[in-house]
Amino acid sequence: MENIGALAILLAFCLSIYSVVASLAGAWKKKPFLIASGERAACAVWGLVVLATGILLYALVTSDFRYAYVAAHSNRDMPWAYKVSAWWGGQEGSLLLWNFILACYAFVVVMQNKKKHRAMMPYVVATLMVTQMFFLTLNTFPASPFQMLAQGKNIVEVQDGNGLNPLLQYWTMLIHPPVLYLGYVGFVVPFAFALGSLITRQPGDQWIFTTRRWAIVTWLFQTTGVILGAGWAYAVLGWGGYWGWDPVENVSFLPWLTSTAFLHSVMMQEKKGMMKVWNIVLVAGTFFLCIFGTFMTRSGIVASVHAFASSNIGTYFLVFLTLGIAFTIYMILGRLDYLKSEAELESVVSRESSFLFNNLILLASCFAILWGTLFPVISEAVTGEKVSVDAPWFNRVNIPIGLFLLFLTGVGPLLSWRRASAEGLRRNFQWPFAGMLALMAGLAVAGVHHVYALMTFGLCFFVTWTIVQEFYKGAAIIAKKEAVGFLKATIELTHRNTRRYGGYLVHMGVVIMCIGFAGAAFNKDSTTEVEQGKSFHLGRYELKVTGVNSGQTDNYVWQSATVEATVNGQPYATLKPERRIYSQSQQPVGVVDIRRRLNEDLYINFAAMSSEAQKPIIQTYIFPLVSWIWVGFYVLLMGSLVCLIPSKVKMSYARTEVVGVAGKHEKVAK
């Protein structure tokens, strides 16, 4: 069986090379049979990678410890779900996950476009298969998941494996890596179509229309993956942080920033014929940042709880990135005449400019995070000293950037296309702005004096006003014209232009999340060594440790503290944080207990038993508003799904003339 797995990967590697050669030769020599052969080879690669994946999963689930990978990342006593998640728990398996998702995407692209985009498809397939070939190279040679444990020439089997890293034995880790990879890997498809469009000089915006839903879906996967990772860090690492500006967290965030910029600026290309070079650069930048993030987690150049062990595959990534970026730059420079804008920015105060500023600020944040992440590596290489860049530096730089982005989110809907008049600005801004100032003043009087928190709450109110106003104005017109209820009119309005109003819902989700982020300004914490039966206080809570229990499962030994929380003498919650020591790795891990509420979370971690007095050491945290982050994500998710629903009315955008003062464009029925 082990030979079949390794052979499947090797054959897939060979077929990916053939697919590239056949696709390019077929396009250059105008041989349709070669193009079809290249596409069939891409489908065969999918079948072989699926076979290899199935073999590895079978070995993990059945605890076949002849495999070095299974012995390193699984053990007999682990629940079967975590045995499956061991697939992506190590270097070799996670690269196979990359290959699996990429092969599935390539298969879907080939099936979807058998009769469409025939001029571009050979180059699209070639781009997909070059990327596939690169990752199959890693699984074939330096990082094979099918290496066997051997003594001399004989294959041996250990009695039990080391088990999955205990920090990864949490439910979000069953879905966080694959979902994040679905987003990471998925952006190869828009990039492949963009490159195919460049090579073939396709007229119009065909690659944009073709990949619009791909881009939204993969962006949604990226967003979901990042949020799941934040939820894992919050619930597992024991200090309550959902974002610590860890290097691996940062590199997962970089392609999200550029893909977000792309989803905004692509509307300018559709509506006005602008930002064509910009969009190619953004989609290419997103793809290469995804590869760069994968490189950072695997090269060992940064230390992180999220990173894999140091390995020698970093050189492979650097070569791929260098060649890929150089070729893309060459293609862009060679097609500048084809990428000329069809319109110019007429005014700084216009909706077009708000899109442009939005893009610039997102890229400024991307550059700042990239620089802060790489600076320790660069300083060590140049001076021999590793200078750390800590979380406060990232916060100082990115909080003002985030606030400006939040402001632009509210400003965009209030501006007219092409040019905004002074009277229009006064009329559109006066009430939202006055409401924002009134809220900030009220909060300041109530005792909220943290400047950034005040600004965040005020801007969230400003953006919410503009979004609600957009829905209200449109729905009121429909309700009056068609004599229907307001709720039905709102649904009808959204269905007529799902991308626009789904986008507003996404922005609303971001606003709600920002309220949760602002709550971090009011966090409280304490670390207390306390006798059983004694009480201690934090904020409005009185907490008493009423008992310490212990026990054992097949997988770990546990010790649990029972903590009773009261507020003003009234029972509030009973929390039972644990300490676990896993049998195979002997690694201690804390399991926190959290009382979640919209106003604040009470978060308790059982840190240890004191060595001398054998008293429990309890870490207690109060996190105001943190649950709004998770609520905001669900609103964002709903808005993204709305964006994917086809609009009831097809929007026709004139490239030179905008219809209506408020920027509404002519509607043409399907």
| pLDDT tens per residue across span 269-306 | 887 778 889 999 999 999 999 999 988 887 766 655 55
> C-alpha angle with apex 168: 309 to 611, nearest 5 degrees?
95
Contact 607, 184 (CB under 8 A): no
pLDDT of residue 314: 86
pLDDT of residue 41: 98
Integer CA distances (angstroms), 27 to 32, 172, 189, 332, 552, in order: 8, 44, 19, 20, 64
Backbone angles phi, psi at 161, to 5 degrees: -95, 175
Contact 274, 285 (CB under 8 A): no
Nearest to 474 by CA among 667, 639, 216: 667
Q: What is the tens place of the pLDDT at every residue in 64-116?
A: 999 999 999 999 989 999 999 999 999 999 999 999 999 999 999 999 998 88
What confidence tier does 600 reach under pLDDT thresholds 50, 70, 90?
very high
- HSE of 116, CA atoms in CB hemisphere, 13 A: 11
Cα(264)–Cα(266) distance, integer angstroms: 6
H/E stretch holding 138 reads helix 121-140
Q: What is the tens place of the pLDDT at every residue in 169-204?
A: 888 889 999 999 999 999 999 999 999 999 998 876
Instruction: To the nearest 10°, report the CA torsion of 535, 537, 543, 548.
Output: -60
Mean pLDDT of 47-61: 97
Identify the three-state secondary structure at position 608: strand
533: left (phi over 0), alpha (psi -120 to 50) or beta: left
Contact 148, 59 (CB under 8 A): no
pLDDT of residue 654: 47
Instruction: To the nearest 10°, report the CA torsion of 359, 363, 365, 371.
Output: -170
Instruction: To the nearest 10°, report the CA torsion of 166, 167, 170, 172.
Output: -150
Cα(303)–Cα(298) distance, integer angstroms: 10
Residue % of the chain over a pLDDT of 70: 93
Cα(393)–Cα(623) distance, integer angstroms: 22
**Which runs of consecutive H residues, i.e. helices, occur in 141-275?**
176-186, 188-200, 206-236, 247-272
Q: Residue 606's beta-bridge partner residues?
A: 618
Cα(643)–Cα(246) distance, integer angstroms: 32
**Who has greater pLDDT, 203 or 445?**
445
pLDDT of residue 120: 93
Cα(342)–Cα(655) distance, integer angstroms: 7
Mean pLDDT of 51-75: 95
Residues 6+ apart with CB under 8 A from 612: none
pLDDT of residue 182: 96
Residues 6+ apart with CB under 8 A from 533: 544, 545, 546
Least confident range from 5-19, 94-108, 408-422, 568-582: namely: 408-422
Question: Around Cβ 429, how many Cβ atoms within 10 Å?
Answer: 18
Cα(180)–Cα(218) distance, integer angstroms: 9
pLDDT of residue 296: 86
Q: What is the tens place of the pLDDT at every residue in 462-489?
A: 999 999 999 999 999 999 999 899 999 9
Integer CA distances (angstroms), 32 to 24, 37, 206, in order: 11, 8, 21
Amino acid residing at 593 = D
Mean pLDDT of 570-590: 89
Mean pLDDT of 253-271: 90
Question: Around Cβ 487, how many Cβ atoms within 10 Å?
Answer: 10
Mean pLDDT of 425-452: 90
Residue % of the chain over a pLDDT of 90: 66
- Look at residue 359 and tell me whether its pLDDT is greater than 50: yes
- Look at residue 658 and tell me whether its pLDDT is greater than 50: no
Identify the three-state secondary structure at position 601: strand
Question: Around Cβ 617, how many Cβ atoms within 10 Å?
Answer: 16
- Write down the residue that tokens 């971690």 correspond to: 605
The encoded tokens of residue 493 equal 């309005």
Integer CA distances (angstroms), 47 to 52, 102, 126, 272, 278, in order: 9, 12, 18, 42, 37
- Look at residue 656 and tell me whether its pLDDT is greater than 70: no
What confidence tier does 154 reach under pLDDT thresholds 50, 70, 90?
confident
pLDDT of residue 441: 96
Backbone angles phi, psi at 264, to 5 degrees: -80, -45
Question: Around Cβ 179, how many Cβ atoms within 10 Å?
Answer: 21
Mean pLDDT of 304-328: 81
**Who has greater pLDDT, 601 or 428?**
601
Cα(483)–Cα(373) distance, integer angstroms: 57
What confidence tier does 413 reach under pLDDT thresholds 50, 70, 90?
confident
Give the DSSP letter of residue 62.
T
pLDDT of residue 403: 95
b/e 344-381 (16+ beta carbons within 10 angstroms → b): ebeeebbbbbbbbbbbebbbbbbebbbebbbebeeeee
- Write down the residue that tokens 């997962």 correspond to: 252
- Look at residue 161 and tell me whether its pLDDT is greater than 50: yes
Residues 6+ apart with CB under 8 A from 10: 140
Cα(129)–Cα(346) distance, integer angstroms: 42
